[in-house]
Structure 1
Amino acid sequence: MSTSFEKTGPTTGRLEFTIDQETVKQGLDKTFKKVQKSLNIPGFRKGRVPRRIFNQMYGESALYEDTLNDLLPAAYSSAVKEAGIDPVAQPNIDIKSVEKGQDWELIAEVTLKPEVELGQYKDLEVVKQDRDVNDSDVEDALERRREGLAELVIKEDAAVEGDTVVMDFEGFKDGESFEGGKGENHSLVLGSNSFIPGFEDQLTGVKAGDEKEVTVTFPEEYHAEDLAGQKAVFKVKVHEVKAKELPELDDEFVKDLDEDVETVDELKAKIRKELEESKTTAADDARDDEAIRKAVNNAKIEEIPHEMAHEEVHRQMDMFLNNLKQQGISPEMYYQMTNSSEEDLHKQFEGEAEFNVRTNLVLETIVEAEGLKATDEDMEKEISDLAGQYNMPEDQVRSVLSPDLLNRDISLKKAIDVITSTSKETLEASEEADAE
């Protein structure tokens, strides 16, 4: 087998390779044996037609297509290995020559992984993150917990922001009612911005029993094209106005809220600790994300092939839709609920797809530059962690994950650690903005 490779662009190349005569002969023999079983020619028993008769009637070239399809994967794989290249997509393969008694000659147009020139990825300066929790943070969190346990009580007074209005409504455009514009006994929290802009504002001041016409203009980007940018009038009948009644903040309330504490002060101390932990985690994540983004932006990378970005989009879509399935939501249900389509979801993930690809390329290059790899202890810990995460036996995890895949994932995590563990929070937010 002979192989030659020529780069035709930053991420494209032309790979020429052959399949030797002996391999071709063996492949043709194998193909004929498959075909022979179904041959039905007068004068011969089914499955007993000699090769010579087949060649006379159909020509040996009738076996070429199936033989090539059978031999091509292994031949292409060997050629790629011999050429020392790293294709990232299925090749376009043309036949240069398939002559009887000669090596078969093939040409593959391949898409290659871009070359990466690393920039600075250690000791990166990143923005200082706020990790402090003050008294107002604690009070706000405590108030949200009270809000979560608030009761709705009917009020006689006029509705104000924060109240819930129970109403019937029907929308009209040019005097005609429209689909989806009608509701009965609907509860609307004023100030929630869950209705068309301007609708909730006009219900401020209504009381139970009131009837009112509300005039609004649908947003230009509204999902229903026949309503986008159009004026509409909603006839509203108010049944009830309800106000939130917050529980008293005392020790009795605290005991009902959290069985681990007995006093308001104990609850505040617990809330403070939880906020400190969550804020520290969020700050660490923000620091690490910024360091990784800087390391990626510091690297020089040839153009990202469309195929790689396209594959990343579909990988992200598959992950997203699989997560929905675990919640009992099918893709069709999601598209219907969000009034979107598969194309819309594809566009949603396109924005970050190229950066994700660049990130993986940079991390892979750091793995090579630093000589990073997984130890046996790393592999066992990863298997144990995955088993716990997915509630699976460790042996089952081993059976579905290849050592190569585990090694790659662990090595990439180590590359991330090289970037993040050496980063330093030295910049103020204003300095970062000026740098950009």
Structure 2
Amino acid sequence: MAIERKIEKLPHAEVAIEVTLPWEEWKNFILPATEELSKDMQVPGFRAGKVPRHVVEQKFGQNAVLERAAEKAIQKTHEKIIEEEKLDAIGSPKAEILKLAEGNELCYRVVTAVVPTVKLGEWSAAVKKVNAEFAAKPVTVTDEEADEEIKKVASSRAKLVTVNRAAAQGDSVLVDFVVKRNGVPIENGTGQNHPLVLGQNVFIPGFEEAVVGMNAGESKDIELSFPTEYHAKDLAGKPATFSVKLNLVQERSVPELNDEFAKSLGQFDNFGTLRNSVREGMTEERQHEQREKRRNAIVDVLVEKSEIDLPEVLVHQEIHRMIDEFKLQVQSMGMTFEQYLTGIKKTAADLEHDWEPQAEKRVKASLILEHLVTDQSIEIPQEELEEEMNKTLQRFKKVKHVEKDLDMQRLYTYTRSVLANQKLLEQLEKM
């Protein structure tokens, strides 16, 4: 028998389904509900799960069995309706019982989010414009830029000689320091034998300049202000006292950029081949960056040309995914997520609110790409898909306990989606 239902489309890609079940249909859930409620009850003379209904209701309340039966009926019939109506439901449905009485029909209303419809305006001209703009900016690497990279390699191979003189620009030094605000050391504001190369400007602006001229064993206080864009917002732009002691001064002897240096790296005959190799590597890296920028720009114009009424559940899922990813980044920097929040004086709820626009954009981009993959008939050959999955499985083998927990169907779907998106973007780049 067909289930009586009324379906109403709601804003934000939600659907309301109002269902009426005759008593003859849903009374069959009474016995399973009674057994489920009584499975942990211990009543003399009765086996667990076989306690009479009236005894169960004495413990849980008069309507307990009916309510549990209604829950089971709703779950079963809702799943059937979703399948029959071919609704692409997402998230957890919200159910409300409208009418519940023994011997009578059961009426309920369920609101569920569905995958939203993607409406794309005329987008091809916008994509072609992006491609033209990037084509007008070809990637180049000059000899001077390649030499700057080589200088960094040479600098990392500098020989260090301890000297008995005042520190100068270019020297390697070891310093102890304590950072104070109003005479009180700040959290994580101390260091011992901290290495610096004077002139590289990796410390607070003004600090390295103040160390120049100091001798080993000398101490002094330096009055500086944190940059206005400092990552710890409670310190940004604020003055502080840096108590510093210079422990060691070493002169750095950097190799000259010549054929001898190139040969010392073990794979180059002369400086020219070294420069060419570095230039090729830099070119490849910049081309990769350019490709990512182009693809991001293409996705941006597609989002601009789209109309998508997003359900809240998709945005919230994306926000939580972003926060989980960010927690891993924070942990890799040696701090907890809570410490990070304390440092920026925000709560997790503040972060969720701040990231909502970005999450909406990411969800729209994902839906648009999925839509275009279908629209453009993008197919991934089975052998290509299997090859990529095998690469992923090989990487997971290196992580204990991960491989056995893998959901192969999810991995298949995810890998296919990634490859299809890549192929789609390659196609869009050629327009």
State the TM-score, normalized to the length of structure 1. 0.78
Structure 1 runs not aligned, ≥5 long: 426-436
State whether structure 2 residue 387 is matched by structure 1 residue 381. Answer: yes
State whether structure 2 residue 224 is matched by structure 1 residue 207. Answer: no
Shift of 1:245: 1.7
1:294: which partner in 2? 301
CA contact (8 A) 1:2 1:17 kept: yes
State whether structure 2 residue 128 is matched by structure 1 residue 124. Answer: yes
CA contact (8 A) 2:16 2:109 kept: yes
2:7: which partner in 1? 5
1:434: which partner in 2? none
Q: Which amino acid aligns with 1:285?
A: E
1:276: which partner in 2? 283
User: For the structure 1 residues 103 and 189, does the alpha-carbon distance in structure 2 shift closer, same or farther, using more than 3 Å as the test?
Assistant: farther
Shift of 1:77: 2.2
In 2: Cα distance, 1:338 partner to 1:146 partner: 40
State whether structure 2 residue 31 is matched by structure 1 residue 24. Answer: no
2:158: which partner in 1? 150
2:292: which partner in 1? 285
User: For the structure 1 residues 420 and 298, does the alpha-carbon distance in structure 2 shift closer, same or farther, using more than 3 Å as the test?
Assistant: farther
In 2: Cα distance, 1:305 partner to 1:184 partner: 53
In 1: Cα distance, 2:186 partner to 2:314 partner: 43
In 2: Cα distance, 1:225 partner to 1:370 partner: 47
User: For the structure 1 residues 192 and 8, does the alpha-carbon distance in structure 2 shift closer, same or farther, using more than 3 Å as the test?
Assistant: same
CA contact (8 A) 2:177 2:242 kept: yes
User: For the structure 1 residues 230 and 35, does the alpha-carbon distance in structure 2 shift closer, same or farther, using more than 3 Å as the test?
Assistant: closer
CA contact (8 A) 1:141 1:271 kept: yes
1:85: which partner in 2? 87
User: For the structure 1 residues 39 and 171, does the alpha-carbon distance in structure 2 shift closer, same or farther, using more than 3 Å as the test?
Assistant: closer
Shift of 1:192: 4.2
Shift of 1:246: 0.8
- Identity rate of aligned residues, in percent? 26
SS at structure 2 position matched to 1:91: strand
State whether structure 2 residue 17 is matched by structure 1 residue 15. Answer: yes
Residues 164-215 of structure 1: per-residue CA shift (max 9 Å, x gap): 33333444544x3424454443333334444444333333333334443311
CA contact (8 A) 2:169 2:212 kept: yes
CA RMSD of superposed structures (Å): 3.9
CA contact (8 A) 1:363 1:412 kept: no
Shift of 1:229: 5.1
2:366: which partner in 1? 360
Q: Which amino acid aligns with 1:26?
A: N
User: For the structure 1 residues 285 and 243, does the alpha-carbon distance in structure 2 shift closer, same or farther, using more than 3 Å as the test?
Assistant: same
Shift of 1:391: 4.5
SS at structure 2 position matched to 1:295: helix
In 1: Cα distance, 2:219 partner to 2:61 partner: 88
Shift of 1:338: 9.4
State whether structure 2 residue 224 is matched by structure 1 residue 216. Answer: yes
1:185: which partner in 2? 193
CA contact (8 A) 1:125 1:423 kept: no
In 1: Cα distance, 2:386 partner to 2:394 partner: 12
Q: Which amino acid aligns with 2:389?
A: I
Shift of 1:330: 8.1
Q: Which amino acid aligns with 1:296?
A: V
Shift of 1:28: 1.4
CA contact (8 A) 2:117 2:308 kept: yes
User: For the structure 1 residues 306 and 330, does the alpha-carbon distance in structure 2 shift closer, same or farther, using more than 3 Å as the test?
Assistant: farther
2:251: which partner in 1? 243
Shift of 1:358: 0.7
**Counterpart mapping for 1:33-52 below 5 A:** 33-40=35-42, 44-45=45-46, 47=48, 49-51=51-53
In 2: Cα distance, 1:306 partner to 1:58 partner: 35
Q: Which amino acid aligns with 1:124?
A: K
Deviates more, 1:52-61 or 1:21-30: 52-61
Shift of 1:410: 2.3
Structure 2 runs not aligned, ≥5 long: none
Shift of 1:360: 0.9
User: For the structure 1 residues 405 and 196, does the alpha-carbon distance in structure 2 shift closer, same or farther, using more than 3 Å as the test?
Assistant: closer
1:429: which partner in 2? none
1:165: which partner in 2? 173
Q: Which amino acid aligns with 2:286?
A: K
Shift of 1:313: 1.8
State whether structure 2 residue 273 is matched by structure 1 residue 266. Answer: yes
In 1: Cα distance, 2:203 partner to 2:360 partner: 36
Q: Which amino acid aligns with 1:370?
A: Q
1:433: which partner in 2? none
In 1: Cα distance, 2:257 partner to 2:59 partner: 96
Deviates more, 1:200-209 or 1:357-366: 200-209
User: For the structure 1 residues 162 and 91, does the alpha-carbon distance in structure 2 shift closer, same or farther, using more than 3 Å as the test?
Assistant: farther
In 1: Cα distance, 2:217 partner to 2:55 partner: 95
State the TM-score, normalized to the length of structure 2. 0.79
In 2: Cα distance, 1:282 partner to 1:254 partner: 27
Residues 365-408 of structure 1: per-residue CA shift (max 9 Å, x gap): 2133234454433432332332344448xxx9899445576356
Shift of 1:353: 1.5
CA contact (8 A) 1:125 1:424 kept: no
Q: Which amino acid aligns with 1:271?
A: V
1:423: which partner in 2? 429
CA contact (8 A) 2:198 2:209 kept: yes
CA contact (8 A) 1:367 1:412 kept: no
Q: Which has the higher contact order (CA 8 A, sep 6+)?
A: 1
CA contact (8 A) 2:118 2:308 kept: yes
In 1: Cα distance, 2:424 partner to 2:235 partner: 53
CA contact (8 A) 1:94 1:107 kept: yes
Q: Which amino acid aligns with 2:420?
A: K
Correspondence for 2:316 among 293, 310, 314: 310
SS at structure 1 position matched to 2:282: helix
Q: Which amino acid aligns with 1:150?
A: A
